[in-house]
Chains A and B, each alone.
Chain A
C-alpha cells in the first residue's frame, strides 16, 4: 500500500512536504481547502495531536435542551466528560486566559468553546469571546460545539466570524429515537417534550448543518453511541450527515455512571465496550479515522490532547500577567513553523518499508491490535503505570494503522477506587481488551505478569522509538516467533 503520496498542504503553514496526514493517507480524500484547515488541528489530525495543543474556554453556561446522558449540575456531556465542573469565565477573562496560554504554549493553535452549556444558547458571551481572540491572537483557530437547536439562527453570524470548525452533536434523525434521548427542548418560549421536542431538534440540526456547509464552514458531527437506542441507527446518521457535507463523523461512547446522576446512569443503561465502539466507528467512518484519538476533553481543558494544564492558568495567576503581543505572535510563529517541519518528515514510510519484507514471509498472520503508552510526540515514551489512556493501533502484514484511544478511567467505578494500584491495573487490563500487546517505556513486574496472564504481551524493548515503527517491529518479531496464530484457512500463497 503506497502510503506517502505527496500532499500539498497550505503554503502559509510552511508544510508542503509529504505525509502531513500521517498513517495511511487518511486525509487524502478531503478537498485541498479542508486539508489545509485541519493539518495542524490537534482534534482532527492524528499526526497533529501529538504536536499541537488546544484549549477550551468555559464561557457558555446556559443550555436549551436536556440530554439523558447529561446532568446539568456538571458540564455539557456532549463536549466534556460527564461529572466535570469547569470554572465559568466571563468573555474578558476568557480572552485574557487565551493570550496567557498562547504565550506560554506557543504550539496552542486551537481555542474551542464547548460549554459548560451550549455555546449558541449563550450567543453574546460566545461571540464576544471569539471577537476578542480574533483581535489579539488572529493566528488562533476558533471552534465551537453545539447541540444544534439554535444553529440556524446563528449560522450566518458564525460564517462571518473567523470560525472554521463547528461541531454539531447529532445522535439521531428519527424522532422516536430522539424522544428516548432528549426529554425536552426549550423552543419559542416553551418547554416542549417527547416526540415534538425531538422533531424540532432534529429539524434544526439538519437545517443548521446544511446552512453551514452551504457557507463553506467546516462541520464535524459528533454522535454518542447508546447501545440499544441509536447504535445501529448511527450508520444511517453517518451516511446522511456526510452526504450533507459534514467532513467528519465522530462516534463517542456513552459514559453512564450511576454516581453522575444522569438518567442513563441512574437507569443503568450499559455503555458500549471498547470493541463495540470500535466496530461501529469502523462501520461509520470508513477511511475517515481522523478522530479516533478524541478524548472527550473537559470544557476548560488546556494543552495537548490527553493532558490538562488548566491548573497552571487560574484566573488569579492570569490577572497578574502582562503581555507583549508582538513578541508572543513572533514566538508562536517560529515554534509552529518548526513543528510543521518536524511533522513533514516522512516517518510513516519507514514503518511501511520495514513491513514489506514481512509481507512475503508471513502473509497469513492476522491483523492484531496493539496498545501504546505515550505522553505525546508520536513516541513510545510512557511508563505503563502512568498511562491513563492507550493509543491503539492495528498491525497487519500490510501496515500499521491508528485505530483509536482507550482510556483507563472510562471503566472507573468511582474516584475512590481508582487510586488503588490493583484496581488501576484491573482497569487498564479492561481497557486493553482485545489487544495482543502493549508497548510502553517501562513496566513493573506485577503488571507485567498480570498482562501476560490476560494474554496481552507487555513490551518495553521499543522504548523511545517512533510509535508506528515500534508497532511494526513488534508485530514482525511476534509473527516470526510464531506468536500470532495463522488466520483460518488462509494459505501462504495469498499475499
Chain B
C-alpha cells in the first residue's frame, strides 16, 4: 500500500512538506516516495496529500500503476489535444 512518483514529476517540491509520513524526498532525476513509509495518508487525511497538490498529471501512480491524476484531470485540456501535443 504505497503511492509512487514516476518520470513525469517536475521536481516542484509541492508534495514533500505535506506528507504526514515523511515518505517523500528529493532525488535525481525526480522525487521519490519511500514505499515502506507511505501510508497513502490513511488515518491522517481523506485524500492522499501528494496527489492532491501535485500539478502534473500522471506523476503519481498507485500500486497498480494507475495515475491518481489522469490526463486532462488537472489542466482541463481534452486528452485528444494532449495526445496531439505529445
Q: Does A314 contact B (CB under 8 A)?
A: no
**Size class of the A contact interface (CB-based, 8 Å):** 20 to 34
Min CB distance B82 to A, Å, is: 8
Q: Is the CB of A261 within 8 A of B85?
A: yes
Q: Say if the beta carbon of A63 comes within 8 Å of chain B.
A: yes
Knowing A62-B14, A63-B14, the reply to whether A263 touches B77 (Cβ < 8 A) is yes
| Stretch binding the partner chain, chosen from A181-189, A346-354, A458-466 | A181-189
Residues of chain A lying within 8 A (CB to CB) of residue B85? 258, 261, 266
- At the interface, yes or no: A64 with Cβ under 8 Å from chain B? yes
Q: Does B62 sit at the interface, judged by CB under 8 A?
A: no
Chain B, residue nearest A71 (CB): B75
**Pair A72/B10 contact, Cβ less than 8 Å:** yes
Interface residues of B in 1-60 (CB under 8 A from A): 10-14, 17-18, 45-47, 49, 52-53, 55-56
The residue of chain A having its C-beta at the shortest distance from the C-beta of B47 within the complex is A190
Q: Is the CB–CB distance between B75 and A62 below 8 Å? A: no
Partner of A73, one of B10, B17, B74, B82: B10
Once the chains are docked, how many angstroms separate the CA of A96 from the CA of B55?
30
A183-B74 contact in complex given A73-B56, A267-B81, C-beta closer than 8 Å: yes
How near does chain B come to A264, taking the closest CB pair, in angstroms? Answer: 10
Report yes or no: A72 in contact with B56, Cβ–Cβ below 8 A: yes
Q: A61 touching B13 by the CB < 8 A rule? A: yes
Could you tell me if B75 and A183 are in contact, using CB atoms closer than 8 angstroms? yes
Q: Across the interface, do B12 and A186 meet the contact criterion of CB distance under 8 Å?
A: no
A16 interface residue per 8 A CB criterion: no
**Residue with the greatest number of chain B CB neighbours at <10 A, chosen from A68, A116, A117, A266:** A266
A64–B54 Cα gap in the complex (Å)?
9
Residues in A neighbouring B74, C-beta threshold 8 A: 66, 183-184
Tell me if A68 and B14 are in contact (CB < 8 A): no
What string of 1s and 0s marks CB contacts (under 8 Å) between A38-63 and chain B? Answer: 00000000000000000000000111
The interface residues of chain B lying within 8 Å CB-to-CB of A262 are 75
Q: How far is the CB of A142 from chain B (nearest CB, A)?
A: 22
Q: Which of B45, B52, B55, B81 touches A266 (beta carbons < 8 Å)? A: B81
Interchain nearest-CB distance for A231 vs B (Å): 20
Distance, CA A121 to CA B49, complexed state (A): 15
Given known A-B contacts A66-B74, A263-B77, A186 and B53 have beta carbons under 8 A apart: yes
Contact of B14 among A121, A183, A189, A266 (CB under 8 A): A121
- A–B pairs, 17, beta carbons within 8 Å: A62-B17, A63-B55, A66-B74, A68-B75, A73-B10, A73-B56, A88-B11, A183-B76, A184-B74, A186-B14, A186-B52, A186-B53, A191-B47, A258-B85, A263-B76, A266-B85, A267-B77
* A-binding residues in B (CB < 8 A): 10-14, 17-18, 45-47, 49, 52-53, 55-56, 74-77, 81-82, 85
Known pairs A183-B76, A191-B52, A191-B53 / 20 extra A-B pairs, C-beta < 8 Å: A61-B13, A61-B14, A62-B17, A63-B12, A64-B14, A66-B55, A66-B75, A72-B55, A117-B13, A183-B74, A184-B74, A186-B52, A189-B52, A190-B47, A258-B85, A262-B75, A266-B77, A266-B82, A266-B85, A267-B81
Task: List 3 tightest A-B contacts by C-beta distance, closest first.
Answer: A62-B14, A72-B55, A61-B13
